[in-house]
Structure 1
C-alpha cells in the first residue's frame, strides 16, 4: 500500500527559481513538472486522459485484453527501465502499454480499471518513427503523450532507404530512461520476424537499464496496420511481460542483439519460414 501511495507523491522540480521549487513539493497535480524534453507533464496527463477513454474501449471492451507476468513489474524502480517488445500495429500496441502501466500505478491487477486515467503515470516514453508521428492530427496528439522521435536510417515512407544514422536518438532515449520507463520496438517495423536493429544494443550498453522483454499477440488480427481501425472485434489481445534481465560491459553488441531477438520471440526459424510462405501466397493472390 505504501508503495502505491508513493506513486502519487509530488516530484520536486529541478528549477533554479526557489519559489517554483518550493511549490513543487506540494504540487500533487504535477503543474510545475516538465519532462527531460521540456514538455509540461500536466499536458501529457491531459492527453492520456482524453485519449485513454476511447482506446480503453477498443482494447478492453470491444476486444479482450489478457495480461501475463504482471508480477515481474511490481518491484521495478521508477526510472531506467527499458521495455522491449515485438511490434504489430503503429499505435494500439503502445497504447495498451500505457493503460497497463497506469493501471499498475494505482495498484490494480490484471483487469483494467479506467479510474487510473484521472491520475495516469506520465513518466512513460516510447520510441517511434518521426514520419509516423507527423502523419496526421491523431499521431501528433499521441506524440504529446511521450514519443521519442527517431529518423529511421533504413526505411522511409514504406520503402527501403540508406541515410545517416540519427545520432540524437540514443541521447533522447537515455534522457527518457533517466526520467522514467521507455518502451521500444527494436525491430523498427510492424512486420513480424524482421531483424532486430543494433541501435537497441547500443542503448542497453550505454545506459545499463533493467530490460523487460514483452511479447504481444492478437493486435494484428484485431486492428489495421495503424491500430486505429478495427479488423475484427472480440479478439484476444495478449501482453506477456517476462522476467527482467540485465546486461553489462562483458556482453557484445552481437550477443545483446541476438538475445533480444530470442526473448521477444522473433528468431524462430519455423515461424519465419511460415510467414515468408504466406507472403508469397498473398503476392500470387492465392
Structure 2
C-alpha cells in the first residue's frame, strides 16, 4: 500500500490503520477484561462481499457500540470464531469500514475528531441539533457520502438515530437501501448501556455480560418493497419493533432477573 494512499474521503489510510491499531489496543479490555463480550455470527461476517454492505443495529451508547463492532468484524475477518481473543487481528484491520454519526457529535472534541478520522460519515441530523428538536431538509451530500462509502466498503448505521430504545426508525435508512441496494446485515447488541456511560467513553460498571448477535442478511425486494415495509422489516430484525414491548408478568420478570444474575460475568480461576 502506498504510504499516502487515501480513501474516497481524503483520509490517509496509513494514518487510519495506526489509529485503529492504537485505539483498538486501548479499548480491548472494555470487552475482554473489565466486561465480557459474547458474540454470535462471526461466520456471517466472513461470508460478506468486500463492498456495498450496510449493517443496521440498535444503539445503546455513542461510541462503545461501534468500537465493539470494529473489534468483532476485524477479529472475524482474521479467523476468530465468535471471539476477540488475541488482539493480533488489529495489525491488519479492514480499512474500508465506516459508520454513520451526527456531525455535531463528531466536531465536539479532539477525541471525537480522531474517532471521525477512523471512519465516520458525519451527517447533519434533520430532527435534532444542539439538544433541540428541529425540522430541516435532508442534505443530499450526506446521502451521497453514504453511497460513496458503500461503494468503497462496509457501512454501520443506527437507524433509530438515538440511544433511547424503542424509538421509531428513521425512514432515511430505507431510502438509502432502495437507492444503493446494499447487502443489509442486522446486528443486535445488549449490555452496553449497563456497562458504559451514555457516550460510551467510560466504563460505568464492571462484570457485565455484553452481547452482539450478527444475523443473516435480510431478503429485500429493493424495487417493489415500500419504504414503510423495509422499515418494519428492519424494526423486527434489530428487535426494536413496537410488538417487542409487552407487559411482563411479575413471575416472568423475577425469573429474568435471576437469569441475568447468572449471565453476569465474573473473573474465574485460570
TM over 0.5: yes
CA spacing shift, 1:152–1:272, aligned 2, 3 Å: farther
In the TM superposition, what is the alpha-carbon distance from 1:32 to its structure 2 partner?
Answer: 4.5
Equivalent residue, structure 1, for 2:251:
none
In the TM superposition, what is the alpha-carbon distance from 1:35 to its structure 2 partner?
Answer: 1.1
CA spacing shift, 1:253–1:106, aligned 2, 3 Å: same
Equivalent residue, structure 1, for 2:126:
153
Equivalent residue, structure 2, for 1:8:
none
Aligned pair partner of 1:204 in 177, 180, 187 = 177
- Report the count of equivalent residues: 246
For 1:153 and 1:74, locate their aligned partners in 2 and report how far apart those are by CA, in whole Å: 35
- Residue 124 in structure 1 maps to residue 122 in structure 2: no
CA spacing shift, 1:273–1:139, aligned 2, 3 Å: farther
Aligned pair partner of 1:189 in 159, 162, 168 = 162
Equivalent residue, structure 2, for 1:271:
245
Aligned pair partner of 1:99 in 48, 71, 74 = 71
Equivalent residue, structure 1, for 2:257:
none
- TM-score, normalised via structure 2 length: 0.87
For 1:202 and 1:273, locate their aligned partners in 2 and report how far apart those are by CA, in whole Å: 33
CA spacing shift, 1:273–1:195, aligned 2, 3 Å: farther
In the TM superposition, what is the alpha-carbon distance from 1:33 to its structure 2 partner?
Answer: 2.9
Bigger CA drift: 179-188 or 52-61?
Answer: 52-61
For 1:124 and 1:230, locate their aligned partners in 2 and report how far apart those are by CA, in whole Å: 25
- Residue 108 in structure 1 maps to residue 102 in structure 2: no
CA spacing shift, 1:117–1:246, aligned 2, 3 Å: same
Aligned pair partner of 1:256 in 207, 230, 235 = 230
For 1:246 and 1:168, locate their aligned partners in 2 and report how far apart those are by CA, in whole Å: 28
CA spacing shift, 1:270–1:180, aligned 2, 3 Å: closer
| Aligned pairs (5 A) from 1:31-46 | 31-46=3-18
Q: Which runs of 5+ in 1 are unaligned?
A: 1-26, 275-286
CA spacing shift, 1:39–1:64, aligned 2, 3 Å: same
Aligned pair partner of 2:44 in 64, 68, 72 = 72
Bigger CA drift: 32-41 or 178-187?
Answer: 32-41
Tell me if the contact between 2:46 and 2:77 (Cα under 8 Å) persists in the aligned partners: no
Identify the structure with bigger relative contact order (alpha carbons < 8 Å, sequence gap 6+).
Answer: 2
For 2:244 and 2:76, locate their aligned partners in 1 and report how far apart those are by CA, in whole Å: 35
